[in-house]
Structure formats: C-alpha cells, structure tokens
C-alpha cells in the first residue's frame, strides 16, 4: 500500500475480532512467521521496519531480524530470547486480529497457557524436516487443555523438503491423530514457507498439490465466537449501579459482562449463592434499554424484586442455574516460582468473587510432553500441570471448564502479597481418549 492509496472506509471497518495465539520456537521459524504475517498484511510500518533494520545492522546482521519486531524488552533483545507474551494487532479487509505471541520453550508453559486462555485459535508451528516432536505435542496438549476451539498446524520450511506432499501429509496425519486423542475438535494443517511467504498470505506457486486456504485466509474465515443461544446464561455481578439522584432514585442496576448465553427481559432468574429468585425487569446496554442481551456484552440488569445482591454474586436463568459448591476439583497450571503444596491456604478468584481456599490434595502431576502421571507429587512447581482438590470457605457457582471457559476458570492468589500463583480449570483436563484422560 503506497502513501497515496485511497482507502475505502468499508475496507477499514472490519467487523469481527479474532484472538489467536502462536506457539513454537525461533528454531521453527515462529518469529519469521509472525513477522511475515504482520509484514505481508501491511501491519509493519516504515518506522518500525527502519528501527529493526537499524538494530539488526548494529548487531552485525545482514538482513532485518523480524524477531526484533516482537521482542520488546531490553533483556529479550540482549539475550535473543522471548520472555513474555507479546500482543500484536493487525487487520485485513475482513477481520481485526489480536495475536498473542508466546515463546515455546519448555520453561515457558505458563506463557503458552496465558496466551491460549483467551485465544479462539492456536497456530502450532513445526519444522517440516523434524515433524512432530516433543515440543509439538506439548503445544497440542496446552491448546487441548485450555480448550482452544480451533488449532492450525503450520508445517513450516516446506522449501527445505522440496515442497514434498508426502512429507506434509505424514506430519499432518500424525498431529491430527494426536490432537484428536486429546479432544481438540478442529485441526487444519497448512504447508508453508514463512521465509519465502508461501501459503502465509499469498498462495504458493511451489505447492500446486495443496488446495486449501493460506494461513491468513483461514484466519480470516474461521467462525469466531460460540453461539450464545446454545449456552446457559451467566452474569457475574461486578458492581451495583445506584445513582441515588432525583431522577433515578430507585434505580438499581447489577452491572456485569455476560459470561455466556443470552438474557431476556421477563426471564425468571436465580441469584447465587443465596438462591433468591426474581425476574429480569430490564436490561440496560450501556445506558440504552434492550430486550435481549448476550455474551460478551457488558450490561446492567434490573430485577423485579428488591433482593440483596452484591459484587461476586451470579445471576442465572432459574431453569439453568448452577449449583453452589465448596469442594472444587480442578486441573491447574502452576505459574509461580513459589511451589503450591498440599495444605496451602490461598485466595481463589472466580469471575468476580474472591474467597479463601485450602489445597486439600494434589492427586497427580501431569508430564505435558508424555502425558504420564505422577501420583501424589506433594507439590507443584512453576510450569507444572496437575490435578488438585480444593475446599473453599464460601460456596462458588462454578461450571465445568469444558462447558464455559469463563465461569469454569479461576486463579489461586497468595493472600499475603497478592501474587498470582496458579491458573485453574474446573473439571477434567482433556475431553478425548481414555489413554490420556486426566
């Protein structure tokens, strides 16, 4: 796009938003792929490219190192590694994208978990020469664990295997079978060369045997979001809006972002954990009254009855209300250098509710590469994935993570200094194969 190109407003008002994550290491060409996506979709601007070229030259490199586009911190640039999740933004005529670019090293499982937690799609990158390796299986397992709805296997460096269809087909078959055994519902495999750009944005002239979409085409057309009409509605109350002005003397709006499903005026609802019932008298969508609202809209709900509701309560349709429980079984990923031990007293943050909790048991630790279980490890270390039993001081209205990522997830927090210790997923880890079930 040159500076004097006129841009159609329709083109820039892309209407849907896709959050996706990339997993892989520099060796797989991930930085090159991300750089290629940004560059070929015209998202790298001249001053950014100049800065990268300048920095690359001062490091004695001939070609601009596109990894420098994403490695934002001084320590990362100095050590040539990616420490943290970097968020990247780009848009095409069809869609706006938020890319969580996560480092793939073994010690950074927590970063992959973080990036995958909000992603609707994960791109797992492999080197066509090496095929599916331990790291690939780890990336697939994390995507399955976090219930990322769509997974793309990008088989990179096809130029180094003579653009061979059988090589691609074998890798795609092995990966798809493994992902399916973990319960990943949707895998699409795409042969690419990030270095030359084949099948990233533009179709490859070297692989006429491939009839599928390029990576960007796939990202542009994959359906986003779940269908809220299939889900049980959940409104965690964030804040009670009480204007107490002359005009709105009796207004009381329970404000929150709908976590799942559809809410309608007139619907009978139950408030948890109290169990009180009422009817939705009105829904205000940022000040405008509406009859229907759905996830993930932020709304304020008014009820027909004057009942005691505060931050941390959950409003749900009476017909689909969850049970409020104090015993929680969950799969967790431990995020902090401080170990999580049986007997630890922590805070548990679930939606808008934070309660005290005790770690009653750590039933096993899962090796994310081999899926082998270690029974009763006693503690979990940073980047460990395991299964825990918790007891909370007050009841929580939980859903299984498999049913709702939003109301089935929680954090464990150090009560003393507020550190985020652990990410929790209520219920079973994987939906798939008995051999791997956790």
Partner 1 sequence: MSDARGVITAVETAETLENPYTLSHLDALESEAVHIFREVAGEFERPVLLFSGGKDSIVMLHLALKAFRPAPVPFTLLHVDTGHNFPEVIEYRDRTVEAHGLRLVVASVQEYIDGGRLRERPDGTRNPLQTVPLLEAIENGRFDAVFGGGRRDEEKARAKERVFSLRDEFGAWDPRRQRPELWQLYNGRHAPGEHVRVFPLSNWTELDVWQYILRERIELPEIYFAHEREVFSRNGMWLAPGEWGGPKEGEAVERRMVRYRTVGDMSCTGAVESSAATVPEVITEVAASRLTERGATRADDKMSEAAMEDRKREGYF
Asked if 56 is part of the footprint of partner 1 (rule: CB under 8 A), the reply reads no
Asked if 46 is part of the footprint of partner 1 (rule: CB under 8 A), the reply reads yes
Coil, strand or helix at 339: coil
Binding test (CB under 8 A) with partner 1, winner from 213, 411, 432, 437: 411
Residue number, 168 or 410, with CB nearest to partner 1:
410
Residue number, 42 or 129, with CB nearest to partner 1:
42
Residues 256-315 that bind partner 1 (CB under 8 A): 256-257, 262, 284, 286-287, 294, 296-298, 300, 311
Residue number, 64 or 191, with CB nearest to partner 1:
64
Coil, strand or helix at 130: coil
Residues 117-136 that bind partner 1 (CB under 8 A): 117-118
Residue number, 40 or 165, with CB nearest to partner 1:
40
Residue number, 15 or 107, with CB nearest to partner 1:
15
**Residue 215 near residue 123 (C-beta atoms within 8 A):** yes
Asked if 228 is part of the footprint of partner 1 (rule: CB under 8 A), the reply reads yes
Q: How far is Cα 350 from Cα 326, in angstroms, rounded to an integer?
A: 12
Asked if 1 is part of the footprint of partner 1 (rule: CB under 8 A), the reply reads yes
CB of residue 80 to partner 1, shortest distance in Å? 14
CB of residue 346 to partner 1, shortest distance in Å? 12
Q: How many CA atoms lie within 13 A of 88 on its CB side?
A: 27
Asked if 229 is part of the footprint of partner 1 (rule: CB under 8 A), the reply reads yes
Alpha helices for 42-119 (secondary structure H): 46-58, 67-70, 74-79, 109-117
Residue number, 279 or 298, with CB nearest to partner 1:
298
Q: What does the DSSP assignment read for 340-370?
A: EETT-EEEEEETTEEEEEEEEEEEEEE-TTT
Asked if 9 is part of the footprint of partner 1 (rule: CB under 8 A), the reply reads yes
CB of residue 74 to partner 1, shortest distance in Å? 5
Q: How many CA atoms lie within 13 A of 392 on its CB side?
A: 22
Structure tokens at 59: 């490091």
Q: Which stretch binds partner 1 (CB under 8 A): 161-169, 224-232, 318-326, 357-365?
A: 224-232
**Residue 216 near residue 92 (C-beta atoms within 8 A):** yes
Closest alpha carbon to 138 in 28, 20, 18, 19: 28
Asked if 20 is part of the footprint of partner 1 (rule: CB under 8 A), the reply reads no
Q: How far is Cα 120 from Cα 20, in angstroms, rounded to an integer?
A: 6
Residue number, 73 or 323, with CB nearest to partner 1:
73
Residue number, 288 or 375, with CB nearest to partner 1:
288
Binding test (CB under 8 A) with partner 1, winner from 26, 81, 91, 342: 91
Residue number, 75 or 323, with CB nearest to partner 1:
75
Binding test (CB under 8 A) with partner 1, winner from 179, 423, 426, 429: 423
Q: How far is Cα 333 from Cα 331, in angstroms, rounded to an integer?
A: 7
Q: Which stretch binds partner 1 (CB under 8 A): 46-54, 172-180, 183-191, 270-278?
A: 46-54
Structure tokens at 223: 């359906």
CB of residue 377 to partner 1, shortest distance in Å? 21
Asked if 51 is part of the footprint of partner 1 (rule: CB under 8 A), the reply reads yes
Asked if 61 is part of the footprint of partner 1 (rule: CB under 8 A), the reply reads no
Structure tokens at 295: 């996830």
Residue number, 95 or 157, with CB nearest to partner 1:
95
CA-to-CA dists, residue 24 to 8, 153, 226, 346, 376, angstroms: 36, 11, 26, 33, 31
Q: Which stretch binds partner 1 (CB under 8 A): 5-13, 150-158, 318-326, 373-381?
A: 5-13
Q: How far is Cα 358 from Cα 342, in angstroms, rounded to an integer?
A: 8
CA angle 343, 348, 354 (to 5 degrees): 140
Residues 235-264 that bind partner 1 (CB under 8 A): 238-239, 241-245, 247-248, 251, 255-257, 262
CB of residue 94 to partner 1, shortest distance in Å? 11
Closest alpha carbon to 113 in 86, 135, 143: 143
**Residue 437 near residue 430 (C-beta atoms within 8 A):** yes
Q: How far is Cα 189 from Cα 176, in angstroms, rounded to an integer?
A: 8
**Residue 282 near residue 270 (C-beta atoms within 8 A):** no
Asked if 410 is part of the footprint of partner 1 (rule: CB under 8 A), the reply reads yes
Bridge partners (DSSP) of residue 128 are none
Residues 316-375 that bind partner 1 (CB under 8 A): 335, 347, 349, 351-352
Q: How far is Cα 322 from Cα 270, in angstroms, rounded to an integer?
A: 9
Asked if 152 is part of the footprint of partner 1 (rule: CB under 8 A), the reply reads no
Asked if 107 is part of the footprint of partner 1 (rule: CB under 8 A), the reply reads no
Asked if 70 is part of the footprint of partner 1 (rule: CB under 8 A), the reply reads yes
């Amino acid at each position: 796009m040159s500076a004097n190109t006129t841009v159609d407003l329709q083109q820039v008002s892309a209407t849907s938003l896709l959050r996706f994550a990339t997993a892989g290491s520099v060796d797989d060409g991930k930085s090159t792929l991300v750089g290629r996506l940004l560059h070929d979709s015209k998202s790298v601007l001249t001053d950014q490219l100049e800065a990268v070229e300048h920095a690359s030259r001062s490091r004695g490199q001939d070609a601009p190192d596109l990894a420098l586009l994403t490695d934002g911190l001084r320590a990362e640039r100095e050590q040539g590694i990616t420490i943290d999740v970097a968020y990247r933004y780009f848009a095409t005529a069809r869609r706006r994208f938020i890319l969580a670019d996560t480092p793939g090293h073994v010690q950074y499982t927590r970063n992959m978990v973080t990036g995958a937690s909000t992603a609707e799609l994960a791109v797992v990158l492999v080197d066509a020469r090496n095929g599916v390796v331990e790291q690939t299986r780890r990336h697939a397992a994390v995507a399955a664990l976090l219930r990322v709805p769509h997974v793309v296997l990008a088989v990179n460096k096809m130029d180094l295997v003579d653009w061979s269809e059988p090589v691609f087909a074998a890798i795609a078959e092995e990966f798809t079978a493994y992902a399916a055994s973990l319960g990943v519902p949707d895998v699409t495999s795409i042969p690419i060369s990030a270095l030359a750009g084949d099948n990233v944005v533009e179709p490859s002239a070297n692989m006429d045997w491939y009839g599928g979409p390029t990576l960007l085409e796939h990202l542009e057309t994959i359906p986003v979001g779940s269908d809220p009409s299939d889900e049980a509605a959940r409104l965690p109350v964030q804040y009670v809006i009480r204007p107490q002005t002359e005009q709105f003397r009796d207004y009381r709006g329970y404000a929150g972002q709908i976590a799942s499903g559809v809410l309608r005026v007139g619907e009978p609802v139950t408030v948890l954990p109290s169990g009180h019932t009422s009817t939705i008298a009105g829904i205000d969508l940022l000040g405008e009254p509406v009859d229907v609202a759905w996830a993930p809209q932020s709304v304020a709900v008014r009820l027909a009855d004057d009942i005691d509701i505060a931050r941390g309560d959950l409003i749900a349709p009476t017909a689909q209300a969850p049970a409020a429980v104090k015993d929680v079984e969950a799969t967790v990923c431990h995020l902090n250098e401080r170990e999580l031990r049986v007997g630890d007293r922590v805070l548990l943050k679930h939606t808008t509710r934070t309660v005290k909790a005790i770690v009653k048991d750590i039933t096993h630790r899962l090796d994310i590469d081999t899926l082998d279980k270690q029974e009763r490890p006693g503690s979990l270390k940073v980047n460990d994935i395991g299964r825990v039993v918790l007891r909370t001081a007050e009841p929580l209205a939980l859903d299984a993570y498999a049913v709702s990522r939003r109301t089935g997830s929680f954090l464990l927090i150090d009560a003393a200094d507020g550190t985020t210790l652990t990410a929790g997923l209520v219920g079973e880890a994987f939906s798939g194969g008995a051999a791997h079930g956790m």
